[in-house]
A and B are shown apart, each in its own frame.
Chain A
Amino acid sequence: MTAVVEAREGAAQARAERAALAWEALARAELRTGARSVRAVPAAAPSVAPVTDDEPARPALLTTERPPMAVPPALAPLLSEGLRRGGTTVVAGSTSLVLTLLAHACAHGAWAAVVGRPDLGVLAAAQAGVDLERLAMVPSPGADAPAVMAALLDGLDVVVVGPGARLTDADRRRLAARARDRGSVLLPTYAWPGAGTTLVVEAGRWSGAGTGDGWLRAHRLRVVRTGRGVGAGRTVDLVLPLGARLPDEPAAPAVETPGEGLRLVG
């Protein structure tokens, strides 16, 4: 009896070892061929990455294989782990903030698509630093919005979704799952059920325009992160466009962490 149990345990152990060896070899091969960029995970990162919560069966290799996309340094307090590949990040309340995030994410050759936003200011996108060569727009996908979104998530790195895409809640769940599977970033600009990260612009103020003089120069935003993750509840004051100087006060993003001691769990 014990011999059978031992044999079974031994077989399970051998299988686990073989699997580990195979994963290691695969990771080495991919690193060598440059198929994917593998990055060592920081010690704190696995605990905050909800990917492991959602898919407990997958090994940690997937998480480590998807280096997060860059975010503006000013937003680092909110998105300390960067723009997570495979995640859904809602950015609501400011199109300029979406464009700034997009510009940083796509700075190194990534492709982006904007779906259901016929009113996107392309000129503002170019000024924010988005490479228009790698930005595709699907202004009105119509009734085929779920299929269009699925195709874009398959091939492109960042997909921005606006309210012009007609999606049901079931479509949204499926698309979020697809993004998680393909490792692309889903960036809705309006409320999206089940989003991992939500950035909401609470208040903004434009400066630069006087009474008939000057021009609109800088936009001061208060961005709040809600939802899950370490940065939840944090607030950042941000000035867009990045690097712009406020005419009346020095631009220094202040970080407030209300109730930080209570939030840091796990």
Chain B
Amino acid sequence: MSTPRPTRTTVVWVPDWPVAAAAAALDVPGHVPAAVHDGQRIVATSALARAEGVRRGMRRRQAQGCCPELALLPADDARDVRAFEPVAAAVEGVVAGVEVARPGLLLLPAGGASRYHGSEEALAVALVDAVAATGYECGVGTADGLLAAVLAARTGAVVAPGSSGAFLAGYGVGELVHATVTDEQAAQVADLADLLQRLGLRTLGAVAALPTASVHARFGRLGTWAHLLATGLDERPPARRRPEADLVATADLDPPLERVDQATFAGRRLAEGLHGDLVARGVACGRLEVSATTDDGTVLARTWRTDLGGWGGLTPARMTDRIRWQLEGWLSAGATGHEEHPVTLVRLTLTALDVLPAAAEQGRLWGGPSGGDLRAHRALERVQGIIGGQGVLVASLAGGRGVRDQVHLRVWGEQTDAPRPVDRPWPGRLPDPAPATVLTTVRRVELRDAAGAAVTYDERTGLVGEPAVVVWPDGGPTEDEPAGRVRGGPVAAAVVGWAGPWPVCERWWVPGAAGPLVRAHLQVALADGRAVLLVGTAGGWTCEATYD
């Protein structure tokens, strides 16, 4: 078995981040011992408080007993994340693409960055300087694999390539906690470390010496993870954070606008601004969100894809087109359910989503759509602007047995794959040709034989009786009569030919389905020239589709 080489990882670690963030937010001077308290226990302590004997997990009284001048600060996860953003941004000024493992801990692949800065030590110096500019102290460590890098960051060490296993061997198993990201995971790992201690496996080296298969058999998934880290390997390389943020252009409309042409002028200015912004940064966007705030506070938002429909050069004129279509849809009567007074807009916002460098866009093999295709794409987007994105559908074929299952409908512009592959045999599928009309609501019918007795289908007995008459209890076999018409009494049609049944029993393993439901398809040709597709279950017959 070949193990993948672990990524050379650099870790930037700000010690006791919750305390540092809270102290900065609440203006607690650095010479006061401080700890963060979540209302029940101490969750983090500063180095000074630790020196006084304050530990994580202590109760408030206990901690104040150890250190009477302790500053107890409230815990706030959101503040921790928010305050860490400047640090992450400062590190991104040195290295492009970092992963925030948790507030206080940043991972970055060391290879390219250390080559750029000359050496891993030079990179560490640059990182420490960058973070110091934000007012925090940090440790930087470089090693193969995550755990070794985290532990190296405590001492500012650089572990030579390939020697992470030896570096880790001396540490205790409790150090595994530092490689965790969430509190739940930390609790589980602490339990595991406790178990390993009791089994006599006190160091990471002892854990690493165990055979992998045995570790998995005895300790499960978490044990495998611990073993992997203890040997100096890594589950995955650091996931780089996407550096480009979404670009926003917004305008407050004063006075509020209620006419499409006025609002389009405002949209045109926004589009030009956003386009200039995109060009200045050399980026393109995958989606464009147009959102508007009405005078009663409702926010209307719709996202347009830009890689479909000939977005092409992403010109302000094309953006303005989208904005205008969208505004026409919103400002037309009844778009937001307000029939009584017209909608007025007080704010208009354009957001470029999925921002990526312009050169990274993948063109199509034969270029973008052009000519009639382009015209059709724009017309369909226009219709989406009128009746909403969900109103325009395109279909593709999917695998399946029933006439509905074999069709995969999706919204125009959306890219989803068919749920079931077509190129499977699908036994029990109806032979071609397929019915041209698939009723939107299935209708109950009665099937009788020549003597007037009901024809039934049952999973044990199969089809009992020869169909001779189909009776629609509530009207004719089609549903395309005008909506106002009241359906009359039962309508009967004589059967001139029938084929089937094609029994189907599928998806009985899906939870929630009421037992194995066996149904049968029956094709029936009627005397009036029509043919219908009936579906029979033990409960009776329904008409599902019409061959017309």
A65, chain B: closest CB distance, angstroms: 15
Would you call B498 an interface residue if the criterion is a C-beta within 8 Å of the partner chain's C-beta atoms? yes
Check B529–A216 contact: CB distance below 8 A: no
Mask, A73-86, CB within 8 Å of B = 1, is 00000000000000
Q: Name which of A49-57, A173-181, A202-210 contacts chain B.
A: A202-210
Q: Which residues of B contact A134 (CB under 8 A)?
A: 376
A151, chain B: closest CB distance, angstroms: 4
Would you call B136 an interface residue if the criterion is a C-beta within 8 Å of the partner chain's C-beta atoms? no
Say whether, besides A111-B372, A208-B499, A121 and B403 are in contact (CB < 8 Å): yes
Mask, A112-156, CB within 8 Å of B = 1, is 010000111111111110001111111111111001100110111
Check A138–B392 contact: CB distance below 8 A: yes
Check B499–A155 contact: CB distance below 8 A: no
Would you call A99 an interface residue if the criterion is a C-beta within 8 Å of the partner chain's C-beta atoms? yes
Would you call B440 an interface residue if the criterion is a C-beta within 8 Å of the partner chain's C-beta atoms? yes
Check B380–A136 contact: CB distance below 8 A: yes
> Contact partner of B499 among A139, A203, A212, CB < 8 A?
A212
Interface size class of B (residues with CB under 8 A): 35 or more
Cα of A240 to Cα of B439 in the assembled complex, Å? 21
Q: Which residues of A contact B463 (CB under 8 A)?
A: 212
Check A206–B497 contact: CB distance below 8 A: yes
Cα of A100 to Cα of B435 in the assembled complex, Å? 13
Looking at chain B's contact residues, the main secondary structure is: mixed
Would you call B466 an interface residue if the criterion is a C-beta within 8 Å of the partner chain's C-beta atoms? yes
Check A119–B479 contact: CB distance below 8 A: yes
Check B379–A151 contact: CB distance below 8 A: yes
> Contact partner of A121 among B372, B434, B482, B525, CB < 8 A?
B434
Q: Which residues of B contact A157 (CB under 8 A)?
A: 372, 376
Mask, A205-224, CB within 8 Å of B = 1, is 11111111111110100000
Q: Which residues of A contact B531 (CB under 8 A)?
A: 206, 209, 216, 219
Check B378–A204 contact: CB distance below 8 A: no
Would you call A251 an interface residue if the criterion is a C-beta within 8 Å of the partner chain's C-beta atoms? no
Check B372–A110 contact: CB distance below 8 A: yes
Cα of A140 to Cα of B393 in the assembled complex, Å? 11
Would you call A194 an interface residue if the criterion is a C-beta within 8 Å of the partner chain's C-beta atoms? no
* Interface residues in B70-108 (C-beta closer than 8 Å to A): none
Closest to A147 in B: B386
Check B382–A155 contact: CB distance below 8 A: yes
Check B523–A204 contact: CB distance below 8 A: no
Check B395–A132 contact: CB distance below 8 A: yes
Check B436–A210 contact: CB distance below 8 A: no
Closest to A111 in B: B376
B404, chain A: closest CB distance, angstroms: 9
Check B334–A143 contact: CB distance below 8 A: yes
B486, chain A: closest CB distance, angstroms: 17
Cα of A94 to Cα of B543 in the assembled complex, Å? 18
Check A155–B379 contact: CB distance below 8 A: yes
Q: Which residues of A contact B334 (CB under 8 A)?
A: 143
Closest to A159 in B: B379
Check B386–A151 contact: CB distance below 8 A: yes
Check B379–A137 contact: CB distance below 8 A: no
Check B497–A209 contact: CB distance below 8 A: yes
Mask, B388-408, CB within 8 Å of A = 1, is 000111111100000100110
Check B383–A123 contact: CB distance below 8 A: no
Closest to A35 in B: B371
Cα of A95 to Cα of B478 in the assembled complex, Å? 12
B443, chain A: closest CB distance, angstroms: 12
Check A137–B394 contact: CB distance below 8 A: yes
A118, chain B: closest CB distance, angstroms: 5
Q: Which residues of A contact B382 (CB under 8 A)?
A: 151, 154-155
Check A206–B547 contact: CB distance below 8 A: yes
* Interface residues in B502-548 (C-beta closer than 8 Å to A): 523-525, 529-531, 545, 547-548
> Contact partner of A209 among B395, B412, B440, B498, CB < 8 A?
B498
Closest to A137 in B: B393
Would you call A64 an interface residue if the criterion is a C-beta within 8 Å of the partner chain's C-beta atoms? no
> Contact partner of A122 among B407, B430, B529, CB < 8 A?
B407
Q: Which residues of B contact A205 (CB under 8 A)?
A: 525, 529
B480, chain A: closest CB distance, angstroms: 5
> Contact partner of A127 among B392, B432, B438, B497, CB < 8 A?
B432
Cα of A190 to Cα of B379 in the assembled complex, Å? 24
> Contact partner of B386 among A111, A148, A212, CB < 8 A?
A148
Cα of A208 to Cα of B439 in the assembled complex, Å? 23
Q: Which residues of A contact B387 (CB under 8 A)?
A: 138, 141-142, 144, 148
B81, chain A: closest CB distance, angstroms: 44
Q: List 30 A-B contacts (CB under 8 A).
A: A94-B436, A95-B437, A95-B548, A96-B433, A98-B436, A99-B436, A122-B395, A122-B407, A123-B403, A123-B406, A123-B438, A136-B392, A137-B394, A138-B383, A138-B391, A141-B387, A142-B387, A148-B383, A148-B391, A154-B375, A154-B382, A156-B379, A162-B480, A190-B480, A204-B530, A204-B548, A206-B531, A208-B499, A210-B499, A212-B498
Q: A119-B439, A209-B531 are in contact. List 13 more A-B contacts (CB 8 A).
A: A111-B375, A122-B397, A135-B394, A137-B409, A141-B387, A144-B332, A155-B378, A206-B530, A209-B525, A211-B497, A216-B525, A216-B531, A217-B433
The 6 closest A-B pairs by CB, nearest first: A155-B379, A95-B436, A209-B497, A111-B376, A209-B499, A204-B529
